[in-house]
């Protein structure tokens, strides 16, 4: 069975990878044959992803990730797949058009939320510079320079954390004790826990202490940054994709969000909301709980896929594991591959202007899942040199 990772972020949003070539070279080295690009708010990386996959005989899947708001859940205080913000709902689109196209008014709606997201981070940068001046640290961050040197256009708070970490290291000429001293000054005396060489840890501490709620540079997100859940689904459908719900699933203590804690109920609610596809970011879940949720949803007819995201500074394997690097079971690998086959068949069909696994209104005939799995299996094996 071919290995699949259906959810990978790239530098077109934020990523552990230096560039797309690094991501795909790692996939080859780890024998992961099916790889899905899945950046926040953008399809800008699709062509580079497709060309890189073709060169390496990998099969590309095309996805996108957006953040929506379900007002009913927000008012009820229901945490969906954001553990800190009731009503906030991450959604992904799987099997989007390639080459990507998006008609109006959906293109303008997507551009608007992307612009609002960038604006919020620009405001955080201004507050961060104020904090640096207040603490008498001789660093000024330049948003234009950060965009030019560290991003592919989409500006996220992790880019600020990276830019500040790099600037502090340069200011201190890579002297470990000096770096620690500067960061502790910026953290109002809070001890730095990461070692000098732990780049991911350092950037995560900067983000947690300065950019998140309670931090000196925190800027709350404007409601304009989040479209209603139904509008996000409409954008995904207009872009050819399958609206997909990413499960947060079990946390480190085995707990679930309000929305996800009853498996039978969440399956019913997702179906009622027109969601026929789900995914899991497997490194954050216990393998037996992952299998419980994924197998139940798969048996109900959902398309189920797995990914790793790689949208933090930490470089994890592209080959998928459960929490603590526990290998996936054969059952989970089969579920993931079957889901990838459906997505591969869907994106192949819609690229030709035909109706895919879901129609333009988001309706799916789940009885056709096996048919799409067979088509996708043939497409993937042919595309991977099989």
Q: Are residues 259 and 188 in the same domain?
A: no
Does 219 map to a domain?
no
**Total residues found in the chain within this entry:** 386
Kindly report whether the global pTM for this prediction surpasses the value 0.85. yes
Q: Are residues 197 and 268 in the same domain?
A: no
Helices assigned H by DSSP within 198-299: 199-206, 229-238, 263-272, 287-299
Does 306 map to a domain?
yes
Q: Are residues 249 and 349 in the same domain?
A: yes
> In this predicted structure, what is the pLDDT of residue 94?
98
Cβ neighbours for 107, distance < 8 A, ≥ 6 positions apart: none
> In this predicted structure, what is the pLDDT of residue 330?
97
Pairing relationship of beta strands 227-228 and 59-69 according to DSSP bridges: parallel
Q: Are residues 289 and 372 in the same domain?
A: yes
Q: Are residues 163 and 310 in the same domain?
A: no
Does 229 map to a domain?
no
Dihedral pair phi/psi, residue 256, rounded to 5°: -130, 160
Q: Are residues 253 and 344 in the same domain?
A: yes
Does 267 map to a domain?
yes
> What sign for the dihedral angle of Cα 323, 328, 334, 319?
positive
Q: Are residues 19 and 46 in the same domain?
A: yes
Does 220 map to a domain?
no
Mean pLDDT by 10 residues, the chain (386 residues): 96 92 98 97 96 97 94 92 91 97 95 89 95 95 90 87 95 93 95 93 94 90 82 96 97 94 96 96 96 97 97 92 97 98 97 93 93 97 81
Does 13 map to a domain?
yes
Q: Are residues 378 and 269 in the same domain?
A: yes
Tell me the C-alpha distance between 309 and 370, whole Å. Answer: 27
Does 156 map to a domain?
yes
Q: Are residues 159 and 87 in the same domain?
A: no
Q: Are residues 292 and 189 in the same domain?
A: no
CATH code for position 291 = 3.20.20.140
Does 188 map to a domain?
yes
Q: Are residues 36 and 79 in the same domain?
A: yes
For the chain, how many structural domains are there in total? 2
Query: Could you tell me the residue range of the domain that residue 334 belongs to?
Result: 3-101+239-383
> In this predicted structure, what is the pLDDT of residue 360?
87
> In this predicted structure, what is the pLDDT of residue 386?
64
Q: Are residues 198 and 328 in the same domain?
A: no
């Amino acid at each position: 069975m071919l290995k699949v990772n259906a959810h990978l972020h790239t530098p077109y949003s934020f990523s552990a990878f230096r560039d797309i070539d690094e991501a795909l070279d790692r996939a080859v080295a780890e024998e992961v044959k099916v790889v899905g690009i899945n950046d926040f708010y953008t399809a800008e990386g699709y062509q580079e992803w497709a060309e890189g996959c073709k060169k390496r005989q990998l099969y590309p899947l095309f996805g996108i990730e957006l953040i929506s708001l379900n007002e009913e859940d927000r008012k009820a205080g229901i945490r969906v797949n954001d553990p800190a913000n009731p009503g906030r709902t991450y959604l992904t689109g799987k099997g989007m058009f390639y080459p990507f196209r998006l008609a109006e008014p959906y293109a303008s709606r997507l551009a608007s939320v992307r612009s609002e997201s960038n604006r919020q981070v620009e405001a955080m940068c201004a507050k961060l510079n104020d904090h640096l001046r207040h603490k008498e640290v001789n660093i000024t961050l330049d948003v234009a320079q950060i965009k030019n040197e560290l991003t592919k256009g989409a500006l996220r708070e992790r880019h600020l954390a990276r830019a500040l970490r790099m600037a502090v290291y340069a200011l201190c000429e890579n002297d470990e004790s000096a770096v620690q001293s500067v960061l502790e000054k910026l953290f109002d005396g809070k001890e730095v826990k990461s070692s000098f060489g732990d780049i991911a840890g350092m950037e995560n501490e900067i983000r947690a202490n300065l950019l998140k709620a309670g931090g000196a540079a925190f800027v709350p997100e404007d409601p304009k940054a989040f479209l209603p859940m139904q509008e996000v689904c409409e954008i995904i459908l207009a872009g050819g994709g399958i609206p997909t719900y990413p499960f947060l699933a079990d946390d480190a203590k085995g707990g679930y969000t309000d929305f996800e804690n009853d498996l039978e109920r969440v399956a019913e609610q997702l179906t009622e909301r027109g969601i026929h596809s789900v995914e899991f970011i497997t490194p954050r879940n216990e393998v037996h709980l992952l299998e419980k949720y994924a197998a139940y949803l798969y048996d109900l007819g959902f398309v189920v896929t797995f990914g790793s995201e790689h949208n933090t500074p930490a470089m994890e394997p592209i080959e998928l594991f459960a929490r603590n690097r526990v290998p996936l079971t054969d059952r989970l690998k089969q579920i993931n591959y079957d889901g990838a086959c459906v997505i591969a068949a869907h994106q192949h069909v819609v690229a030709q202007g035909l109706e895919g696994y879901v129609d333009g209104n988001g309706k799916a005939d789940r009885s056709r899942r096996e048919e799409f799995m067979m088509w996708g299996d043939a497409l993937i094996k042919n595309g991977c040199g099989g």
